[in-house]
A and B are shown apart, each in its own frame.
Chain A
Amino acid sequence: DQQVKQNSPSLSVQEGRISILNCDYTNSMFDYFLWYKKYPAEGPTFLISISSIKDKNEDGRFTVFLNKSAKHLSLHIVPSQPGDSAVYFCAAGIIQGAQKLVFGQGTRLTINP
């Protein structure tokens, strides 16, 4: 049972444009969400997070939007830069629980010059 899903395995965006990565979840108990960026043979790098009490969190070029009713979150990167090319994972967890994270399958983002 895939509780966190990233339905797009890959995304290609022109440099300077907006990249939008999507993530859906099924477990309504999840109350915090994170986005990670990962290069091959490296560990994930934390990008941005959001708790369920908010619907938007912004940090520089990265903005995460949360739609609890739709059980959907998205990561916006604007403007996209070549260095943003990587695999992006969304993850979800329960603050009061064991605080384990459940990861989506990842979306490979390619920024074209």
Chain B
Amino acid sequence: GAVVSQHPSWVICKSGTSVKIECRSLDFQATTMFWYRQFPKQSLMLMATSNEGSKATYEQGVEKDKFLINHASLTLSTLTVTSAHPEDSSFYICSARSGTWEQYFGPGTRLTVT
């Protein structure tokens, strides 16, 4: 149980384009989903917290207009990187929580902006 999927697993896009990453909880309903970013050899940095049906809460320093988060249902959250630039290249990971305090993570999405 507690499986979280992400799609795509990797994506390459050109500078200036937008990329959407999906996060799905496959076998449970996620009241809350979280989006993280990880730079090489660094820890996971929380970007935002999203609750189903409400606006996401962004961490300090994260541009909400650049990283659009939509938590449309209890099993799906999406992160859209708008007008991507090379500095947005990173490993993006989502996690989901069902009511207990454990978070279950997706496999991550490697974004490369050229």
Interface residues of A (CB under 8 A from B): 32, 34, 36, 41-46, 49, 51, 89, 93, 95, 98-106
Contact = CB atoms under 8 A, between A and B. Distances in A.
A93 B43 contact: no
Interface residues of B, number: 24
Given A49-B102, A99-B32, A44 B42 contact: no
A93 to B, nearest CB: 6
Contacts of A89: 43-44
B44 A99 contact: no
A50 to B, nearest CB: 11
Given A89-B43, A89-B44, A105-B43, A99 B97 contact: yes
B4 interface: yes
A108 B44 CA distance: 15
A103 B43 contact: yes
A32 B100 CA distance: 11
B103 A43 contact: no
B49 interface: yes
Given A43-B4, A95-B101, A99-B49, 13 more contacts: A34-B103, A41-B91, A42-B108, A43-B105, A43-B106, A46-B2, A46-B103, A46-B104, A46-B105, A49-B101, A51-B101, A101-B34, A103-B44
B112 to A, nearest CB: 12
B105 A32 contact: no
A103 B95 CA distance: 13
A81 B101 CA distance: 28
Contacts of B78: none
B101 A93 contact: yes
